[in-house]
């Protein structure tokens, strides 16, 4: 299957990263390499791009795209920046920079969540619109799949993740239905799970334009399985520490839970003081690590939202290190 993914807020991301041709830039979520390719185009031979993704198919797609682009740049202008792609979690970026003896990066981009390629590839089991084995792993080398969560989590654990990660108002009804269904036989496919969810949600709420009835539950199970929010705040702090002075961290999030974590991490990095508000001056000694560039999140323009529906919920936030 061909890797198709339209990079979200491309121009805004490039501007956010404020690319210097001889700098080091990191794309922590390569996907098909859409953003990474545009970064590479702006690098001189002395510039470097480091890219990570935990999905081996994404990594290979990004590699093909960047190698073809490098050949094209060689033909057009006789040179290109160097790039190094690694199958890794973006939380490992500080370790990779140390391991490869790279300088502190001038910019890091995270485009969180899943790619269209992952969603559209039925074999991956991310989509509630296509019947497939319950998989949903971003990293195909992990052994645990969505099937394990759906068939092994207790009813209260299921209700918790559906509520916390899916903001699903019918979380406890759905958890109950899942447990009843799996008592008859294990749930094996996305189609079976969709049917169980559909039966748990009152019909009038399915018709009120709130999207597909399984949308929130699938998001929740995917986030839990791939531990998408676990440690994200600490990871953002570590990435800020890794940046060079004036280096930028740009993060695109796709739902309110993610965005809240990014917003709070950036605010805390800007103003980490924990002194009571009525203290005349700071005594805790915590030092600001830089400033939030985007007070409000940057949103895709109308045209982009119309041409790429996936961009509609995207929010870009930028932090600049001191
Ligand atoms: C929205 S897509 C990125 C698309 C990319 N910017 C492009 O232009 O094609 C998100 C990618 O991040 C990867 N990903 C998600 N969480 C990750 C993590 N913790 N570490 C590394 N990669 C991750 C996913 O596998 C997916 O390929």
Residue to substitute in 10, 29, 33, 140 for testing ligand 1 pocket (most ligand atoms within 8 angstroms of CB): 29
What DSSP character marks residue 16?
H
Closest ligand 1 atom to residue 138 Cα is 25
115 C-beta closer than 6 A to ligand 1? yes
> Taking the alpha carbons of 93, 95, 96, 98 in that order, is the dihedral positive or negative?
positive
pLDDT-based confidence at 211, cuts 50/70/90? confident
pLDDT at residue 206 greater than cutoff 90: no
Q: Are 32 and 58 in contact (CB under 8 A)?
A: yes
Listed in sequence order, the residues at least 6 apart from 292 whose beta carbon sits closer than 8 Å to its beta carbon are 266, 267, 270, 317, 318, 319
Per the document, the length of the chain is 322
Q: How far is the CA of 265 from the centre of ligand 1 (A)?
A: 20
Report pLDDT for 204. 77
- Looking at ligand 1, which residue's alpha carbon is closest to its atom 8? 34
Per-residue pLDDT, 288? 96
Expressed in angstroms and rounded, the spacing between residue 9 Cα and the centre of ligand 1 is 15
pLDDT of residue 207 exceeding 70 = no
- Helices 56-77 and 34-41 meet at what angle, rounded to 10? 30
10-113+230-321, CATH topology level: Rossmann fold (3.40.50)
What residue spans define the domains of the chain?
10-113+230-321, 125-226
Q: What percent of the chain has pLDDT over 70?
A: 98
Over 139-169, what HEC string results? CCCCCCCHHHHHHHCCHHHHHHHHHHHHCCC
pLDDT of 192 strictly over 80: yes
Q: Which pLDDT value is given to residue 235?
A: 98
- Please tell me the predicted confidence (pLDDT) of residue 250: 98
Q: How far is the CA of 136 from the centre of ligand 1 (A)?
A: 14
CATH of 125-226, one of 3.40.50.300, 3.30.479.30, 1.10.150.170, 3.90.1150.10: 1.10.150.170
Pocket test for ligand 1, best of 30, 93, 119 (most atoms within 8 A of CB): 30
């Amino acid at each position: 299957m061909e890797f198709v993914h339209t990079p979200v807020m491309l121009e805004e991301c490039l501007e956010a990263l404020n690319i210097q041709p001889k700098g080091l830039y990191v794309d922590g979520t390569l996907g098909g390499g859409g953003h990474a390719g545009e970064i590479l185009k702006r690098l001189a031979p002395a510039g470097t791009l480091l890219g990570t993704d935990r999905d081996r198919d994404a990594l290979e797609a990004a590699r093909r795209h960047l190698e073809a682009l490098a050949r094209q740049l060689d033909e057009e202008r006789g040179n290109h920046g160097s790039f190094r792609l690694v199958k890794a979690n973006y939380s490992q970026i500080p370790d990779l920079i140390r391991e490869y003896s790279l300088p502190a990066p001038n910019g890091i981009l995270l485009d969180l969540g899943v790619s269209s390629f992952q969603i559209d590839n039925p074999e991956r089991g991310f989509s509630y619109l296509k019947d497939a084995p319950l998989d949903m792993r971003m990293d195909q080398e992990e052994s645990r799949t969505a099937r394990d969560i759906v068939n092994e989590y207790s009813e209260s654990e299921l209700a918790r993740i559906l509520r916390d990660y899916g903001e699903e108002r019918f979380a406890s009804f759905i958890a109950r239905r899942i447990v009843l269904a799996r008592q008859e036989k294990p749930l094996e496919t996305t189609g079976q799970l969709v049917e169980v969810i559909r039966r748990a949600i009152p019909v009038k709420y399915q018709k009120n334009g709130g999207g597909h009835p399984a949308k929130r539950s699938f998001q929740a199970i995917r986030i839990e399985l791939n531990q998408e929010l676990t440690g994200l705040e600490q990871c953002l702090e570590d990435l800020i520490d890794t940046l060079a002075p004036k280096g930028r961290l740009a993060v695109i999030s796709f739902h309110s839970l993610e965005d809240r974590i990014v917003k709070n991490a950036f605010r805390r990095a800007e103003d980490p003081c924990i002194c009571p508000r009525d203290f005349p001056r700071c005594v805790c000694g915590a030092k600001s690590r830089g400033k939030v560039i985007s007070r409000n999140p940057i949103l895709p323009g109308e045209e982009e939202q119309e041409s790429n529906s996936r961009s509609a919920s995207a929010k870009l936030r930028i932090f600049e290190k001191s």
